[in-house]
Amino acid sequence: MAALAKAGKNVDALTIDDLAPVDEFHSRRRRATEELATMLAPSASDHVIDVGSGIGGPSRYLTTTYGCRVSGVDLTPEFVSVATALTARVGLTDQVDFRQGSALALPFPDATFDLAWSQNVAMNIEDRALYYAEMRRVLKPGGRLAIQDVAQGPGGEVVFPVMWASRPELSFLRTPEATRSLLEAAGFRVLRWVDNSEAALIEAATERAAMRSAEGPPILGIHVIVGPSAREKMRNGQRCQEERLTLLINGLMERVG
């Protein structure tokens, strides 16, 4: 709130654009959300689950842009609390809700949702088969799932710390091929599969150049959420991309059966 006020935002009447620099801390941030949302193409009548919703940026974007209802789930209670508070300040409480829960035991009955969404979450989940099975379970037959994930690249092991993990035992990357196979084994048909690694690399380099040319860090940015370690994690992330230790993939799937 202090950073938003210092940046000249009205903290009692925020917009999703006011929050964009801080509330989407996945690769490529708002641009990634826009592209993935275009793939998913929600309608106003759809109910979407956002698995690993963080502080709610993508959930609020989907509702504002497409008119759909969104329910977010995140393991971290503090994220859920902040997501709920920010959603109230944006005036979207009637359309977006958040609850604490595990992606491996989603707190919803079978076949609840028309669509599912998850950005930069799978990297922290060891039991990937159960993760995908749970998203399939809460989707209605024929429901679609959109994911963005950091995947294991061909260049070797990740250099830590990075944004999703401060140490190796918290990171569970899979190759794009293994990820796709696990999704298909869980009961999904792949409709689209996109490698955004090059785009992520270019945009990260541009962002870092802008930060170096500035007199200091921006008032609003990823560092507000991540804290003092943000610079080192961003630097390591850039190296991982450059050396193809990591890749960035988008996928659109459909529940089969």
Read off the pLDDT of residues 3-29 as tens digits, 9 standing for 90 and up: 899 999 999 889 999 998 888 877 777
Phi, psi for residue 213 in degrees, rounded to 5: -80, -15
Here the tokens at position 69 are 């209802």
Specify the higher pLDDT residue, 103 or 202. 103
Residues 6+ apart with CB under 8 A from 37: 58, 61, 62, 65, 66, 146
Mean pLDDT of 125-131: 98
66, HSE (Cβ side, Cα atoms, 13 Å): 25
pLDDT at residue 212 is higher than 70: no
Query: pTM of the entire structure?
Result: 0.91
Task: Kindly state the tokens that stand for 25.
Answer: 């801390």
Residue 112 has pLDDT above 70, yes or no: yes
Q: How confident is the model at residue 243 (pLDDT cuts 50, 70, 90)?
A: very high
pLDDT for res 222 = 74
Separation of alpha carbons 143 and 48, rounded Å: 10
Q: Which residues of 54-75 are buried (b: 16+ CB within 10 A; e: fewer)?
A: bbbbbbbbbbbebebbbbbbbb
pLDDT digits (tens, 9 = 90+) for 23-75: 887 777 789 999 999 999 999 999 999 999 999 999 999 999 999 999 999 99
CATH for the 2-152+169-203+247-255 domain, from 3.40.50.150, 3.30.360.10, 3.40.50.2000, 1.10.3210.10: 3.40.50.150
Residue 244 has pLDDT above 80, yes or no: yes
Average pLDDT, the chain: 92
Which residue ranges make up each domain of the chain? 2-152+169-203+247-255
